[in-house]
Amino acid sequence: MEAILGNQVMFILFSAMIVMFSILTVTSRRILRAATFLLFVLLSTAGLYFMLNYQFLAAVQITLYAGGIVVLIIFSILLTSHIDHKFDRVPAQKLIMGVIAAGSGIALSLTTLLTYNFVPANQEPISVDMNTIGKSLLNYGDHGFVLPFEVISVLLLAAIVAAVVIAKRKKI
Amino acid sequence: MNFAQFLKTDKLMSADSLILFFIVATVLVGGAILFSTFMAPTSSNPAKFEPYECGIPTKGTTWLQFNVGYYLFAILFLVFDVETVFVFPWAVVMKELGMVAFVEIVIFFFVLVLGLAYAWKKKALVWE
Amino acid sequence: MLFTGIPLEFFLVTSTLMFFIGIYGFITRENIITILMSIELILNSVNINFLAFNRYLYPGQLEGHFFSLFVIAVAAAEAAVAIAIIINIYRRFKSIEVDNVDEMKN
C-alpha cells in the first residue's frame, strides 16, 4: 500500500514537472532559458520511463536528448542569437488562435481517452533487460528490428554529409 | 515503516527511496543556500563589481558568437552518440549470436565510416 | 514493479497536455529554434504514449519500445539537419525569425 502511494507521489511529481516546464518552454521570452526548460522536460520524461521500467530507454533519453540534442540546440542559439535579446510579446490574435487550437485539442483528446475502455492483452510480461533488447535489435526474423537498425546508419550518414557541406562553406 | 526499517529493505529503485532522495537533495542544497544567506555578512561597494582589482576595464560585452566550424564537431559528437546507443545492445549479445551479429554490425559501421571518411576528405576535421 | 498503482490514463493525460503545449508553441513562436523546441516536445509526448501502451496493453512485446528508440535516433538526425539549415538561413538573412524568411532567392 505504501509503495503504491509512493509511486503515485513520484508520478505526480514528474508529470507536474513535465507540464510546468513545457509551458515555460513555449512561453519564456529568453531563448536560452527556453532551452534550459526543455532540458528539464526531457529529464522528467526520462523519470517517467524509469517508472515504466524501461531503464535502457531512459538512459538513451538522457544521453541522446538531454546530452546531445539540447547541446546542439544551445549551440545553435549561441551561433545565431544575442543573449540580451528578448522576444516580443505574442500578438493577441496569434495568442488566442494558439490557445483555441491547443485547448480544443486537449478537450477532444481527453474526452476520447477518458471514455475509452482500454483492454490489456492477455500476455505474460517479459523483462526488458539488455539481453532481450540486443537480441530483438539484431533479430532478422519475426519481431526483429535489424532493418531499421541498418537504415538508421544511412540516416546518420546523411546527417554527417549535410553538416560537412554546410559547415565547410567559406562564406559566412 | 520507520527509517531504520527502511534502510534494511533492499528495494534499490523503489519509489520510496526516490522520494527520500528528492527530499534529502532539496533539504541539503536548500539548507546550505539558506544558511549562507542568513549567516554570511553582506557588504557591497562599486569596486566589488569590477571584473579585476587592477588593470584596464573590459570593453564591450563578453558575449561573442562562435565560429560556425565548431558546429561540425557538435554534430559529429551527436552522430556517434547515436551510434553508441545502438552498439551497446549489440555488445551485450555479441558472443551469443556470433557471426550473424558480427556481419550486421560491420554493415552498420561501414556506412558510418563512409561518413567519417567523407568528413576527413573534405578537411572538415582540421581544427582551424 | 515501479508502475503499480498508476492507471494508464495518467500517462496519457500527461502526454496529451505535453503534445498540445507543443502545438501551442508551434503556432505562437516566431523564432525557428523555438519552433524546433516545440517539435521536440511533441515527439517526446508521442514517445511517452508508445511506451505506456506497450507496458500496459501489450507487456509481452517490444514494438513500442523499439519504435521509441528509433524515434529518438531519428529526432537526433532531424535536429542536426534542422540546425544546419537554421545556420544557413542565419547566414543569408542575418535573422532566424520566420517572418523575415519569406523568399527563396534574393
pLDDT of B65 above 80: no
Q: In this structure, are residues A119 and C37 in contact, taking their beta carbons and an 8 Å threshold?
A: no
Cβ neighbours of A26 in C, within 8 Å:
21-22, 24-25, 28-29, 34, 37-38, 41
Partners of C97 in the β-ladder: C31
B68/C87 Cβ within 8 A: yes
pLDDT of B9 above 60: no
Cα–Cα distance, C15 to C64 (Å, whole number): 15
Task: Count Cβ–Cβ pairs < 8 Å, chain B vs chain C.
Answer: 25
Cβ neighbours of B96 in A, within 8 Å:
131, 135
Cα–Cα distance list, A83 to A79, B65, B79 (Å)? 11, 10, 28
Bigger pLDDT: B54 or A87?
A87
Interface of A with C in 26-85 (CB under 8 A): 26-27, 31, 34-35, 38, 41-42, 45, 48-54, 57, 60-61, 64-65, 68-69, 72-73, 75-77, 79-81
Bigger pLDDT: A131 or C99?
A131
For chain B, the average pLDDT equals: 79
The confidence score (pLDDT) of residue A102 equals 93
Q: In this structure, are residues C28 and A101 in contact, taking their beta carbons and an 8 Å threshold?
A: no
Test the A interface: residue of B2, B65, B66, B82 with most A CBs within 10 Å: B82
Q: How many percent of chain A have pLDDT more than 70?
A: 96
The confidence score (pLDDT) of residue A127 equals 80
B13/C69 Cβ within 8 A: no
Kindly state the average pLDDT of the residues A95-103: 93
- pTM assigned to the model: 0.84
Cα–Cα distance, B85 to C2 (Å, whole number): 24
Interface of B with A in 34-53 (CB under 8 A): none
How many C-alpha atoms does A55 have within 13 Å on its Cβ side?
10
Report the complex ipTM.
0.90
Bigger pLDDT: B128 or C74?
C74
pLDDT tens figures, C66-77: 999 999 999 999
Q: Which three cell numbers stand for residue A41?
A: 522536460
Kindly state the average pLDDT of the residues B108-119: 91
pLDDT tens figures, A101-159: 999 999 999 999 999 888 887 788 888 888 888 888 888 888 888 898 899 999 999 88
